[in-house]
Amino acid sequence: MDIGTVGAGRIGTAVLRRLKPFDVKLHYTDRHRLPDEVAKELGVTFHQTAAEMVPICDVVTINAPLHPETENLFNEAMIGKMKRGAYLVNTARGKICNRDAIARALESGQLAGYAGDVWFPQPAPKDHPWRSMPHHGMTPHISGSSLSAQARYAAGTREILECWFEGRPIREEYLIVSGGKLAGAGAHSYSAGDATRGSEEAAHFKT
């Protein structure tokens, strides 16, 4: 099988490493190329865009942050470029996928299955179409709620606050914005702009 990840940062690369032992052909698209030694180790093929990668893949997994470049990325057009009968996994952000396009693709057979733990809006209302669409594997968004994850969050928050109060630089991997501009990991991963619109859509559903 050919499996591709949209996003190959910390999480996307970890996904690729976990898939490598299954003897599949690995692909990725990202704003940044993986280091040559990592790409060689994983035997992964780079694609400039998701649109170039998805026609090749039997499974596509989304491991990218939500920002203007990824908002609604998997819409009707992108899903139409995928192999008929491919699988889509979204454990990134619900709004990267178009809610209604996903449901239609599962009903038509364009997608053989969709799985994820992220919704839009979130928490999902009782009659959200992703609860009742065919061939789905949806779970609540609780992966960050394990005790070990909460311990890491607490330690990271404490470190950021200590740096702030002591006037020390915040670690690049913790830094998203500085002086009103994207910085650190934020500048590496995000594009400037607003991807928060649409929360009023929750009003269209029964709570």
Q: In whole angstroms, give the CA distance from residue 185 to residue 173.
A: 5
Predicted local distance difference test score (pLDDT) of residue 192: 82
Q: In whole angstroms, give the CA distance from residue 5 to residue 91.
A: 11
Residue with tokens 């490598």: 20
Give me the numbers of helices (H) and strands (E) for the chain, helices first please: 8, 9
Q: In whole angstroms, give the CA distance from residue 141 to residue 120.
A: 11
Per-residue HEC secondary structure of 80-136 comes to: HHCCCCEEEEECCCHHHECHHHHHHHHHHCCEEEEEECCCCCCCCCCCCHHHHCCCE
Predicted local distance difference test score (pLDDT) of residue 123: 84
**Two structure tokens written together for 74:** 């998997």
pLDDT in tens, the chain (207 residues): 999 999 999 999 999 999 999 999 999 999 999 999 999 999 999 999 999 999 999 999 999 999 999 999 999 999 999 999 999 999 999 999 999 999 999 999 999 999 999 999 888 888 999 999 999 999 988 877 889 989 999 999 999 999 999 999 999 999 998 889 989 988 888 888 777 777 666 556 554
Q: In whole angstroms, give the CA distance from residue 39 to residue 184.
A: 23
Contact 94, 116 (CB under 8 A): yes
Residue with tokens 């190959």: 8
